[in-house]
Amino acid sequence: MYKLSKQKILRKNREFQSVYRYGKSYANRYMVLYVLSVKEPQSKVGFAAGKRLGNAVTRNRLKRLLRETYRLNQNQLKTKHNLLLVGRKAATTVKCAVVERAFKDLCKKARILE
């Protein structure tokens, strides 16, 4: 139920680029959410953290937070959307609950919550 399988994760560079290029973006203090409508029945999600955020440990922690936030809330989201979550500097120092609240706010803005 709460598993995040490998088939649901964006892996290829062209998949990331299409979401960046053609998707609509929604942002708050902690992250940017890119949403791209697709025809496939299964949604995919990608996670990114740029080098400006800090060293590898910091970036990987942030991506783990983003993955966990998505994993816990994936059943509340509409299907047929590819998502890309990009962490921001403010998210590197906060707890998981804050990131989760920020993610839910962005999903409400994007109208992808069921």
pLDDT digits (tens, 9 = 90+) for 35-73: 999 998 889 999 999 999 999 999 999 999 999 999 999
Q: What is the dihedral of CA 13, 17, 20, 23, to 10 degrees?
A: -110
- Is the pTM above the cut of 0.75? yes
- Computed over every residue of the chain, the mean pLDDT equals 95
CA 43 → CA 2, 9, 51, 58, distances in Å? 15, 9, 27, 27
Residue 85 token pair? 């979550």
CA 73 → CA 13, 69, 114, distances in Å? 25, 6, 11
